[in-house]
Structure 1
Amino acid sequence: MERTTKQRTAIQQCIADAGRPLSPQELLEHAQGVVPGIGMATIYRNLKAMLEAGDITAVSLPGGCDRYELAGHGHHHHFHCRSCDRVYEVHACPGDMQKLTPEGFLLESHELTLYGVCSHCR
């Protein structure tokens, strides 16, 4: 069992406070306000441990770095702002995607990412 450190607590709190998936760089910037001197290596080491423990999940976007959010949000999708590069959670789903699957195929899951400009950038 991993011990809880002030760095890990700060990272988890930053993700919770943001209410959206954060990149490692965003985490570093936020966590430095709580734990001065925290470095990128510490961010990555803790992200790895938190992923392995199931505390967080990775949000993978094509052509970009992973973002991280707290685990347990249930099924949801994401919106990626092309202006500020932030990712937001979208708690809606268009529904049954099986009808889009080729005949004879069995759909097991899906991911949907919307792209555009967030309200702040707009």
Structure 2
Amino acid sequence: MADLAGIFTKVAVAKRNSRKAGAVKANNRKTGHGKVQRVHKPVPPGTEEKILALVETHPEWGTQRLRNALEYQHVSLSRQSVYKILKKYNLNIPSMRKQWGHHLKEAHS
């Protein structure tokens, strides 16, 4: 009987400790401690130029449509990556893309 009580005690202590460990893990997720850093694939060379060329010819296109056009050219890129590249050149706002495209067309004339 004493052996059985000892086993139950060990099980109860192990269960309590596992709950505490789970609480610590959940707390770490909330506070951001021990964050896993993501590794991003680099943008293929020449992709920025392709995006800028597409924006020049189609300034009204948004990020999703630009991404689809890149897919057609066999360049795999997320919509967010296209947005980041547009933002790098201050072309993330549709009116800025249209103004930039119009400016380039005038320069070529």
Between structures 1 and 2, the one with greater strand share: 1
Same fold (TM over 0.5): no
Q: Shorter-normalised TM-score: what interval?
A: 0.3 to 0.5
Q: TM-score under structure 1 normalisation? A: 0.39
Between structures 1 and 2, the one with greater helix share: 2
Q: Which has the larger radius of gyration?
A: 2
